[in-house]
Structure 1
Amino acid sequence: MSNASRFWWLPLALLLSACQQAPVAPTDFTRADQIQRWEMSGKLGYRTADDGGSASFDWQQAPRYGEIRFSGPLGFGSAELTWQPGMARLETSQGEWQARTPGELAWHLTGFWLPVSALEYWSRGLVWPGAPAQSEENDDGRLSQLSQLGWDLEFDRYETVGRVALPHRIKARQGADSFTLLIREWQPLPSQP
């Protein structure tokens, strides 16, 4: 059999792949709410009345699935928090826990309820639609202050990624508890076709 006859299917495969709808590229986003999938990395610092700490993180997010890998001095060495609708799991060197939401499990890491579901929105500079909120915008129309779920948040640093300005530092306080999310790298991902 000749090489030409062995690969008869190749032109057909190329034609079919060209006919598929191209996914949206990260540079095509013009608003933060268009970003549904992303990767980001940075540092999470937190403080409670009795404790405090920090950790580096790598976060991958899709519309129905999330994963955050923590490393550093959280007392666990490293930890992985994953979730999907109705189920979340935290794995550390000290054990494994499961709950309905990732926020319930984040307590094992920080000692307070960290609203991970809301952070999916806050990290993009958006108000979480799941609870009432009071917000203020800066002169550029970007979220600068937010009170939601008992947290008072300050968005004081944005950087442009592609064509969208995204937060790179968020400070949050709730009574004696506080955290700072410092995002070093933001990578919006193409939407699925």
Structure 2
Amino acid sequence: MPKRVRLWLTTHVLAVVALISACTTIQVEPLPEGMTDQPPAGWAERSDRLSRFQHWQLTGKLAVKQPSDSGSAIINHWIQNGDAYDLALSSSFLGMGSTTLNGSPGFIELTLPGGDTYRSGNPEALIEAATGWQLPLDHLVWWIRGLPAPSDDFRLLFDESQQLAIIRQAGWEIRYDRWNQFLIDYPALPARITALKDDKRVRLVVSDWHLRERTQ
């Protein structure tokens, strides 16, 4: 092979390699001080245990803050039965009154105080249209247990006590502010979480968790 051809091939190959390297480089944000992205011992076992924790009921309070409006609601109950949820809220915000949300991944039925019922295959869009709030419900059912949703890429950050501190997923940063041992036979569960995305904030405070029997 002529020397000129060999030189051209070498230069071309190096250029392609450099281009591929540049395209596959992922910019990772620096870790916050005192945190690590290395899961502690037992994390896999804990995650498996909580992922199978699918039949429960909690009560608490929800607060939403965003540029257009802000408000809070009492969570009268959040009943989870596998993939299906039944969420009952009470709030004077925007005249919501007693509002119920029933659904599963990719579907929601929302009933307003007057009895009007709306159904949609896009839960987030329906909630925003009805209340003005942006709530990532399909993700919250995982985040509320201290788990990343399996539908999207994620990054986990752990604090110095080896407790989960942050989940970054789907453009949201979920901060675990407090944990409690609500159930004797299960790992500690979140008592307060704060979810942030751009200029939106969702804070959820859990006052109690209960186990429920599986229902049809």
- TM above 0.5: yes
Bigger shift: residues 85-94 or 47-56? 85-94
Aligned residues: 164
In terms of fraction of residues, the more strand-rich structure is 1
Of structures 1 and 2, the one scoring higher in RCO (CA 8 A, sep 6+) is 1
- Equivalent residue for 2:25? none
Shift of 1:110: 4.7
- Distance (Å, rounded) in 2 between the aligned partners of 1:111 and 1:67: 20
Shift of 1:156: 1.3
- Distance (Å, rounded) in 1 between the aligned partners of 2:177 and 2:200: 19
* Secondary structure in structure 2 of the residue aligned to 1:155: strand
Q: 2:64 aligns with which of 17, 34, 46?
A: 46
**Percent of residue pairs identical:** 28
1:84 aligns with 2:104: yes
1:114 aligns with 2:135: yes
In terms of fraction of residues, the more helix-rich structure is 2
Query: Structure 1 counterpart of 2:65, which letter?
Result: R
- Distance (Å, rounded) in 2 between the aligned partners of 1:122 and 1:175: 18
The 5-angstrom pairing of residues 1-193 of structure 1 reads 31-57=49-75, 58-74=77-93, 75-84=95-104, 86-94=106-114, 95-108=116-129, 110-160=131-181, 161-162=183-184, 163-190=186-213
Cα pair 1:32 1:165 within 8 Å, conserved? no
Shift of 1:71: 0.5
Structure 1 gaps, min length 5: 1-29
Bigger shift: residues 104-113 or 83-92? 104-113
Cα distance change, pair 113–72 in 1 and its aligned pair in 2 (3 A): closer
Cα pair 2:96 2:131 within 8 Å, conserved? no
* Secondary structure in structure 2 of the residue aligned to 1:129: coil
Bigger shift: residues 35-44 or 71-80? 71-80
Query: Structure 1 counterpart of 2:153, which letter?
Result: P
Query: Structure 2 counterpart of 1:36, which letter?
Result: Q
Query: Structure 2 counterpart of 1:53, which letter?
Result: G
- Distance (Å, rounded) in 2 between the aligned partners of 1:84 and 1:130: 14
- Superposed CA RMSD in Å reads 2.2
- Distance (Å, rounded) in 1 between the aligned partners of 2:145 and 2:88: 19
Q: Which has the larger radius of gyration?
A: 2
TM-score, length-normalised on structure 1? 0.77
Structure 2 gaps, min length 5: 1-47
Query: Structure 1 counterpart of 2:66, which letter?
Result: T
TM-score, length-normalised on structure 2? 0.69
